[in-house]
Structure 1
Amino acid sequence: MPRTTGLDPLFTTTDAPAFTDRHLANLAAGTRAAVRVPGFLDAPTCASALTALDRLPTADYDPARVPTRICRYGPALNDYRDESGHLDTGRYWHDAEAARAAWQRAGMRTDPIAIALARLGSAWGAAVSPATIGGRAVFGGTLREINAGALIHYDDLNREFPAGLFDQDVLAQLAFNVWVAVPAAGGVTTVWRHRWEPADEEHRHAYGYRPGAVGDCQKVTLAPQPGGALLFNPANFHAVEPNPGGRRIAFALFLGLTTTGRLIAWS
């Protein structure tokens, strides 16, 4: 069946002074493309985070899996998923504890992840809790430096771990990013109004997809802003364009809306 080329008037980007419960609900429902809060972090907080970055153990992804160079700190659950859709718990918990220890040693004076979780919890009306596996809190709050771009892809915990992973059941997933350094040009995030369907596998490329997967789908483009924060639903296909110079560094986490109406967080 051919895809429609009509435009959804609700699939737009909203700029706001702060995130609200309505923003989160609309993103979870899939009726809004993205919400941005300019100046979410002030310049001193961004500068402090960049200083601490030099004290964090960062590493590149395996180029065989991620063909564009991405520098990272902190474990993401999807990096520890085996071919059967289960978590390699031995490697994951080891790396999660090492990342927490490194974070403490870095001595970040102002913690961007703590700020984000507090404000998102305030917006929702209840504190954000860490997702847990067997009662054990997972790691939340990675750092990514993406200068060479990221392939078109999606993130969906329920599809990535179809047998279940968390103690909590997740109804909808949101992606949060806050930038502490941005390039003068490039590094734009694009979000398409398209979610995975079986035919997309014809366009599979490494961990992501070739442009034919999104074709003429409606999209929004979002340039990174220093200190700016972004929320969107990562079940929608999305990608990052390369930037010709400078550094594009963001702290990131996922939020999950659970069956009990709570928000949980992970990376």
Structure 2
Amino acid sequence: MPAVTTLDPLFTALDTEAFTDRHLANLAAGTLAAARVPSFLDTPTCRAALNALDRLPTADYDPTRVPTPIVRFGPALNDYRDPDGRLDAGRYWRAAEAARAAWHRAGLRPDPVSVAMARLGSAWGAALVPATIDGRAVFGGTLREINAGALIHYDDINREFPTGLFDQDIVAQLAFNVWVTVPAEDGATTVWRHRWQPDDEQHRDAYGYRPAAVGHCQQVSLTPELGDGLLFNPANFHAVEPNPGGRRIAFAFFLGLTTTGQLITWS
């Protein structure tokens, strides 16, 4: 008799006019796969952000670590881990200060990251604040141009830095993306109802995992439209589908729910 796969009725993606504290809480609790606000940024704001991109110093990832080409601006903490799982602090803080200076010089008006953080803070009922390390605020608000796709992977600051990193203790992590240009088709983000397990390492592929790791798992896929804002829990395995034509550019950051109920941010 064939096996019967039972789906989780709560693992769904929803479109909403605005993010609310309930969306954030459900994503943190794992009772929602993703929440999307169509036209989170209007077309003029997207166009202004896109026009400012040539004023930001972007670079490709090291292809030996990230085999699919991804153009980026801004440091991500997990790119600065040493072999022992600790932060290479000197290198990170130099990159963070350089990125802040470059962001200021670029003069993004309106600033899509500031707009997003303000709206999410209003939804939560308290302002988002940067995560800190020894009292020092980390950088938040990267840019990613992903046209060739991204491997199946997960993001979990507590696993990436198991000995601890921030002054704040985090109980759940969310990821936010807002797109300022999108291809005519393809480029979907897929989120699987699966979190890392030791057996997944047999499917390891560079920084991510081969499809066999999630072949049996429930999933949701969302193809971005211009200005869409997306929230999901990145502890769930997720990936980006390639888009052969056009450009797919998003501003992004992480949110962490702390043990005191505060929302902190980082990249």
TM-score range, shorter chain: over 0.9
Tell me what 2:93 maps to: 93
Report the Cα distance in structure 2 between the residues aligned to 1:17 and 1:24, rounded to whole angstroms. Answer: 14
Tell me what 1:47 maps to: 47
Q: CA RMSD in A?
A: 0.9
The residue type paired with residue 96 of structure 1 is A
1:5 and 1:218 in contact (8 A); partners too: no
| 1:247 pairs with 2:247 | yes
CA drift at 1:246 = 0.3
TM-score, length basis structure 1: 0.98
Tell me what 1:22 maps to: 22
Tell me what 2:260 maps to: 260
Q: Which runs of 5+ in 1 are unaligned?
A: none
Report the Cα distance in structure 2 between the residues aligned to 1:33 and 1:107, rounded to whole angstroms. Answer: 34
Output one character per residue of 1:22-45: Cα deviation in whole Å (capped at 9) or x when no partner: 000000001100000001000110
Report the Cα distance in structure 2 between the residues aligned to 1:29 and 1:185, rounded to whole angstroms. Answer: 32
Cα separation, partners in 2 of 1:115 and 1:6, compared to 1, 3 Å = same
CA drift at 1:264 = 0.1
Q: Which secondary structure does the structure 1 equivalent of 2:102 belong to?
A: helix
CA drift at 1:5 = 2.6
Runs of 4+ in 1 over 3 A off after TM superposition: none
Report the Cα distance in structure 2 between the residues aligned to 1:104 and 1:48, rounded to whole angstroms. Answer: 15
Tell me what 1:83 maps to: 83
Identity %: 78
Q: Which secondary structure does the structure 2 equivalent of 1:199 belong to?
A: helix
CA drift at 1:8 = 0.2
CA drift at 1:196 = 0.2
Cα separation, partners in 2 of 1:4 and 1:198, compared to 1, 3 Å = farther
Q: How many equivalent pairs are there?
A: 265
Counterparts of 1:205-244 in structure 2, within 5 Å, are 205-244=205-244
Report the Cα distance in structure 2 between the residues aligned to 1:169 and 1:83, rounded to whole angstroms. Answer: 23
Report the Cα distance in structure 1 between the residues aligned to 2:123 and 2:152, rounded to whole angstroms. Answer: 30
Q: Which secondary structure does the structure 2 equivalent of 1:151 belong to?
A: strand
The residue type paired with residue 130 of structure 1 is P
Report the Cα distance in structure 2 between the residues aligned to 1:255 and 1:215, rounded to whole angstroms. Answer: 28
1:5 and 1:217 in contact (8 A); partners too: no
Cα separation, partners in 2 of 1:126 and 1:241, compared to 1, 3 Å = same
